[in-house]
Amino acid sequence: MLVLSGIAIIIIGFALGVNPLLVVTVAAFASAAAAGFGPVEVIAMIGKAFVSSRFMAVAWLALPTIGLLERAGLRERARDVVRRLRGATTGRVLLGYMMLRQITAALGLTSLGGHVQMVRPIIAPMAEGAEERDEAIPLDPDTRDHIRAHAAAVDNIGVFFGEDVFIAIGSILLIRAILEQEGIIVAPLHVALWAIPTAIAALLVHGARLLMLDRRLKARR
């Protein structure tokens, strides 16, 4: 039971507001000591765990990059590009991104989009810029939030219904495993093929909603 002392240390440390990194480190050493490991062995295990999962930290490299690009005016440039396109509307911009997101996700390129990498710095400003050009005045906060919500939604819907078309994706394996538990044996390829009609239906349904979004925004002016 002394091995579980690390859990108690974490609870007490967090309750007292102690530095989380210090709390977790002390908890790790306490549990390891109770299990019969020495300090050197604990440090070796922490180092091995860090090296084996270092790829998980790669995603965090995108955050400072996006921050620097936004500071340099990425959002403003994206907004200006759309303002120069006469036929671009908020719904059409979002529909175009949704189609691109679905196609790339179907090819297994799920990391090309995302809220941090694409929606916040590029897609949302472009959608806002299309409406600001048509309205000729700054957007009110409610309308701006409404457009941003739709920008986030198209990313979620596009990748959700597009990734199942790619056979080598975790969701395909999850669907197959659940069906096997119920005695239904299916090949991953069949699951991917049957995901194509679903992806097309999602594109048509939400595409119609995006075109209706243009009508609702026009009615607000």
Taking residues 84-97, what's their average pLDDT?
A: 89
Query: Amino acid letter at 14?
Result: F
Q: How far apart are alpha carbons 216 and 221 in whole angstroms?
A: 9
**Residue 51: pLDDT band with limits 50, 70, 90:** low
pLDDT tens-digit readout, 8-43:
888 898 888 888 888 888 888 888 888 888 888 888
Query: Amino acid letter at 138?
Result: P
Q: How far apart are alpha carbons 185 and 197 in whole angstroms?
A: 21
Q: How far apart are alpha carbons 121 and 155 in whole angstroms?
A: 13
pLDDT for res 58: 58
Does the pLDDT at position 97 exceed 80? yes
Measured distance between the N- and C-terminal CA atoms of the chain, rounded to whole angstroms? 66
pLDDT for res 56: 55
pLDDT for res 54: 58
The residue with tokens 């700054």 is 138
pLDDT tens-digit readout, 185-219:
888 888 889 899 999 999 999 999 999 999 988 88
